[in-house]
Amino acid sequence: MDMLELLNFYIIPGLVLGSIYALGAVGITLAFAILRYAHLAHGDLATLGAFIALAIVQASGMPPLAALPFAMIATAVVAVGIDKGFYEHLREKPKIITVMASLGIALMVRAVVQVVWGVDAESYVRGIVRPETYWGLRIKDREIWTVVFMIVLVAALQIFLARSKWGKAMRAMSDNPSLALLSGIDNRKVVVLTWIIAGGLCAAAGVFLGINTELKSMMGWQMLLPMFAAAILGGVGRVEGAVLGGLIVGVAEELSVLVLPSEYKAAMAFAILLFMLLVRPTGLLRGKVL
């Protein structure tokens, strides 16, 4: 195998897949940093966002990327509604109760997707998409857009967290919730904002996974473990860590097919997850401990 073959068939697909994982992992890391629990419905919210985009594409004929903002808004609204309806009254309970409740929400969201859209595989665009060649590298336009949108969304989030009033409030809640409350930060507004961002990123991850592969009702559940592995690998609570972790997990999964059957790609994410929890629970960039 030469270097170009390695890049075209393993590294580039790994970076694209890793960019999708990164978008989901950023939402997971924000939810844990501010709300202090692992949200198991994250993957199925991504599935919901992807199918909402499909409904918009089918109804209007617009391209999937044009439907993405509407899917992000709709999924963010659903995420806020789920928090208000199911999680808010559990806020003072032990966090394991909320974690188990999120598993129930995952099953409910998946059931809604299966009832409304069925269980058959769907696609945004029919037909074969041929890659373009750049200096020997075979790259599809949708792969370029996936990486570019991930960079833009994460950069915008980083600027928001660093410079805006509510971004600083979110960082304060992440660092020390009690001190943030004493300083006058509105906890409820921060929680709502967290779910708006996490829901939007969920939808983006689901839409880009659908653009690069196909849409299935189980797609979000299948990428939940890699997203958690990415968040833990980079460091829970660190946005840049989630991006780094997502790229590493994506490339590692693609490279794993060199030695493992493709059906066991998810085992690589599981191995990375276990390794980091055993060796360095704070992750590569020293985040919070689950």
Confidence at residue 36, expressed as pLDDT on a 0 to 100 scale: 86
* Separation between Cα atoms, residue 79 and residue 97, nearest integer Å: 18
Domains held by the chain: number: 1
What are 2's two structure tokens? 């030469």
Q: With beta carbons less than 8 A apart as the criterion, state whether 53 and 71 touch.
A: yes
Burial of 165-190, coded b for 16+ CB within 10 Å and e otherwise, reads eebebbbbbbeebeebeeeebeeeeb
- Residue 230 falls within a domain, yes or no? no
- Residue 286 falls within a domain, yes or no? no
Query: DSSP 3-state assignment of 288?
Result: strand
Inform me whether the pLDDT recorded for 79 exceeds 70.
yes
Confidence at residue 85, expressed as pLDDT on a 0 to 100 scale: 92
- Residue 16 falls within a domain, yes or no? no
- Residue 250 falls within a domain, yes or no? no
Tokens 């690589």 sit on residue: 268
The predicted-structure confidence for 214-269, as pLDDT tens digits, reads as follows 999 999 999 999 999 999 888 888 899 999 999 999 999 999 888 878 777 878 88
- Residue 54 falls within a domain, yes or no? yes
- pLDDT over 70 percentage in the chain: 97
- Residue 31 falls within a domain, yes or no? yes
Range of the domain at 203: 21-219
Query: DSSP 3-state assignment of 249?
Result: helix
- What's the predicted TM-score (pTM) here? 0.93
* Separation between Cα atoms, residue 272 and residue 245, nearest integer Å: 10
* Separation between Cα atoms, residue 261 and residue 226, nearest integer Å: 17
Secondary structure (DSSP) of 84-132:
IIIIGGGTTS-HHHHHHHHHHHHHHHHHHHHHHH-SS-B-SS-S--PPE
Inform me whether the pLDDT recorded for 23 exceeds 70.
yes
The predicted-structure confidence for 112-131, as pLDDT tens digits, reads as follows 999 999 999 999 887 667 77
* Separation between Cα atoms, residue 32 and residue 231, nearest integer Å: 10
What's the distance, Cα to Cα, between the start and end of the chain in Å? Answer: 40
Q: Which of 120-134, 144-158, 161-175, 265-279 has the lowest mean pLDDT?
A: 120-134
Mean pLDDT score of the chain, rounded to an integer? Answer: 89
Facing residues of 137 across strands? 134
- Residue 1 falls within a domain, yes or no? no
- Residue 279 falls within a domain, yes or no? no
Q: With beta carbons less than 8 A apart as the criterion, state whether 222 and 229 touch.
A: no
Confidence at residue 54, expressed as pLDDT on a 0 to 100 scale: 96
The predicted-structure confidence for 263-288, as pLDDT tens digits, reads as follows 778 788 888 888 888 888 888 887 66
What are 162's two structure tokens? 């660093």
Tokens 């860590």 sit on residue: 241
Angle at 171 between CA 100 and CA 163, to 5 degrees: 140
Inform me whether the pLDDT recorded for 290 exceeds 60.
no
